[in-house]
Amino acid sequence: MIEQFFSLVGEEMRFSLTMLRHQVTAKNITHPKVLVNGSPKSGTTWMLKMLASIPGHEDAGNFSGDHKRYDAVSPGQVIHGHETYTDALKSRLEKNGIRVILMIRDPRDQLVSRMFHVRRSPNHPWHERLQKMTIDEALMICIEGREQLPATDVIISLTQSWLEVGNAACIVRYEELLDNTVFHFQRVLDYMGIQGDRRLAEVVVERNRFSRLSIGKKVWLLQRMPGEEDPKSHFRKGIKGDWRNYLKPHHIARFKEVSGQQLIDLGYETDLDW
């Protein structure tokens, strides 16, 4: 435990020194406005935390569909959104110089993650009902959807609404971000116009890795590695392909009926034989 504490202290020192060097050496420091967007449980929180770690940037919260609030966004603010694309929204974002990062994730993993999220979130309308169900029952409800609980096809359609218009956003797939986090985060920084060498991306990624986010400010807790599950945490497991541990044949059959073609359209399968 003591070793972990001093390791975290060392990380903070490296992070602070790199951030200071970035501020000193950058000729024209830019603090872009950015919307980190995507359907729920697609990795938006992780991306937001990384961007908000950069000096001059801050988490501006979720506007929850109140598009007028985009008119008051200040440079360096990072908004967390689950916004469906519309021409009106695009025009408002462009008028205010807000860039969009679109997170995409395998909808089957999103399904599992979303189910656990609702079960642990007291403010969600379906929290108590899903808690009383078995995991199998809760997964089926999330596939099919109910009032105030979107079905998988609705969740996927949010992502598709942005993909259909082409270059409206910088697209980041959650699975690729897991596999090569520094590379894809550097790609996001380039898109945002944030100048800095690779070290900037490396220390931001290091500070926001799963094992660190999983304990938050509770540095006395043992860090969890990706794959070590805590159903009560927003950062529950941090892996890809977890749907194989939960979806049973009847779930898969129903998923294919509801969203099978969409899964193919997103590039996560080539046909319905999975």
- Give phi and psi for 102, each to the nearest 5: -105, 115
Give the pLDDT score at 218.
46
Report domain extents, the chain: 1-105+169-208
1-15, 117-131, 140-154, 242-256, range with the lowest pLDDT: 1-15
Q: Answer yes or no: is pLDDT of 93 > 60.
A: yes
Q: How confident is the model at residue 2 (pLDDT cuts 50, 70, 90)?
A: low
Q: How confident is the model at residue 250 (pLDDT cuts 50, 70, 90)?
A: very high
Question: At the topology level of CATH, where does 1-105+169-208 sit?
Answer: Rossmann fold (3.40.50)
- Residue 244 class from Cβ within 10 Å (0-12 exposed, 13-18 middle, 19+ buried)? exposed
Q: What is the pLDDT of residues 117-159, one digit of tens each?
A: 999 999 999 999 999 999 999 999 999 999 999 999 999 999 9
Give the pLDDT score at 56.
87
Neighbours of 269 (CB within 10 A): 16
Distance CA 88, CA 216 (A): 37
Q: What angle do CA 73, 197, 16 make, to 5 degrees?
A: 70
> Which residues contact residue 72 at a Cβ distance below 8 angstroms, ignoring those fewer than 6 apart?
none
Distance CA 163, CA 158 (A): 9
Give the pLDDT score at 239.
77
Q: Buried b / exposed e across 91-118, counting CB within 10 Å, b at 16+? A: eebeeeebbbbbbbbbbbbbbbbbbbbb
Averaged over 101-118, what is the pLDDT? 97
CB 164 within 8 A of CB 274: no
Residue 69 is given by DSSP the state G
β-strands 33-37, 77-81: how paired?
parallel
The single residue listed with the structure tokens 């690729």 is 176
185 against 220, higher pLDDT: 185
Q: How confident is the model at residue 238 (pLDDT cuts 50, 70, 90)?
A: low
Q: Answer yes or no: is pLDDT of 220 > 50.
A: no
Long-range contacts of 7-15 (CB under 8 A, 24+ apart): 8/212, 8/219, 11/206, 11/207, 11/212, 12/207, 14/203, 14/206, 15/53, 15/203, 15/204, 15/206, 15/207
Q: How confident is the model at residue 224 (pLDDT cuts 50, 70, 90)?
A: very low
Distance CA 101, CA 240 (A): 20
Q: Answer yes or no: is pLDDT of 221 > 50.
A: no
Distance CA 236, CA 41 (A): 11
Q: What is the pLDDT of residues 164-216, one digit of tens each?
A: 998 899 999 999 999 999 999 999 999 999 876 678 898 888 888 766 565 45
Q: Answer yes or no: is pLDDT of 237 > 50.
A: yes
Q: What is the pLDDT of residues 46-92, one digit of tens each?
A: 999 999 988 889 999 999 999 999 999 999 999 999 999 999 999 99
Distance CA 173, CA 185 (A): 11
